[in-house]
Amino acid sequence: MANYVTIDETAHYVPEKVVTNDELAALMPTSDAWIQSHTGIKTRHIALEQNTSDLAAKVATKLLQQANLAATDIDLIIVSTITPDYLTPATACLMQDKVGATNAVCFDISAACAGFIFAASTAEKFLRRGQFKHALVISAETNSKMMDWQDRTTTVFFGDGAGGALLSQTADASKESFLAEQLENDGRQHEVIESGAVKLLSTISATHRPEIAPFKMQGRAVFDFATTAVPKQIQQLLTQQHLTADDVDLFVCHQANLRIIEGIAAKLMQPMTKFPVNVSEYGNTSSAGVPMALDQALQHQFTGKIIVLSGFGGGLAYGSLLIRL
């Protein structure tokens, strides 16, 4: 018997603390006018006394409540993050404990801002085989803890948040959510986005303590990559399915910055009304941006619509999913 996979629920969460551009301007040489003109970002939410697993658990709890499922009904948890609580254990394991999903297999995926796309694609394969029934796919980021708060070239872009989806296996072909996908990487450009580099040993010393580097990004290279490779990938995905961009009801892209989203829309020759945007309020929330924007868009009831999800970021990793909801 064939197995199909449906996206049953979506949810998102942001921490309470809001930081304005003017507040950042008090910490570094920048201004509200510069940030808005270059990024479209007005505010961002910052996690204080909350870690990535805490944000992920908030989303998981919402998903379970919306679906009327017990935590023990979950078979699989995948968390995409580049800001884990620890290098080990996996943030998914910590989240499992926080929500009581004791029956779930848990692991993390690190694909930067393409993380939700890669994680959803992975979960879909697990469910398709029939062994697993329900999966939580959650992207959660506390980017603020990895920022150099005097670096205006990166810090002004980023915020904290989490978003995710509940995926389920079904025997009903009419409920299939996953239509096609395209995942790609370009490791030759790995230096364009980096975070958490650990300083190497030069000698053995009793006083040695690990040192970890803050987030850094080559903004112009990211912009050029995103506005060139991403629309090309989306177009290839649609062509393979005998569709055009006009056939798509909604393009939910990584919320990198408003100018990049506008650039992708222009390349696809589609109106910005098809591109939900939350970056002005939340900033760049890395892998959480796509599921957060999807959840917000679905509040407007896009039932039965064709949607493209597209994430792109460090690695360089980029991927697109063609789904029907």
Q: How confident is the model at residue 1 (pLDDT cuts 50, 70, 90)?
A: low
What is the 8-class DSSP label of residue 29? S
228-267 pLDDT tens trace = 999 999 999 999 999 999 999 999 999 999 999 999 999 9
Q: How confident is the model at residue 25 (pLDDT cuts 50, 70, 90)?
A: very high
For residue 240 the two structure tokens come to: 């393979």
Q: Which amino acid is at 283?
A: G
CA distances from 64 to 58, 148, 263 (A): 10, 36, 36
What is the 8-class DSSP label of residue 64? H
Q: For the stretch 111-143, what's the b/e string if a residue is b when 16 or more beta carbons lie within 10 angstroms of its beta carbon? A: bbbbbbbbbbbbbbebbeeeebbbbbbbbbbbb
pLDDT number for residue 260: 95
d(CA 324, CA 242): 15
Query: 300 pLDDT exceeds 60?
Result: yes
Q: How confident is the model at residue 23 (pLDDT cuts 50, 70, 90)?
A: very high
pLDDT number for residue 2: 67
* DSSP string for residues in 164-192: EEEEEEES-GGG--EEEEEEEE-GGGGGG
d(CA 225, CA 212): 27
Q: Name the residues annotated as catalytic.
A: 113, 254, 284
d(CA 152, CA 314): 19
136-145 pLDDT tens trace = 999 999 999 9
Q: Which residue has the higher pLDDT, 201 or 11?
A: 11
70-94 pLDDT tens trace = 999 999 999 999 999 999 999 999 9
Sequence-distant (6+) residues with CB within 8 A of 55 are 13, 15, 47, 140, 141, 142, 160, 161, 162
Query: 313 pLDDT exceeds 70?
Result: yes
pTM score of the predicted model:
0.95
Cα R_g (the chain), whole angstroms: 19
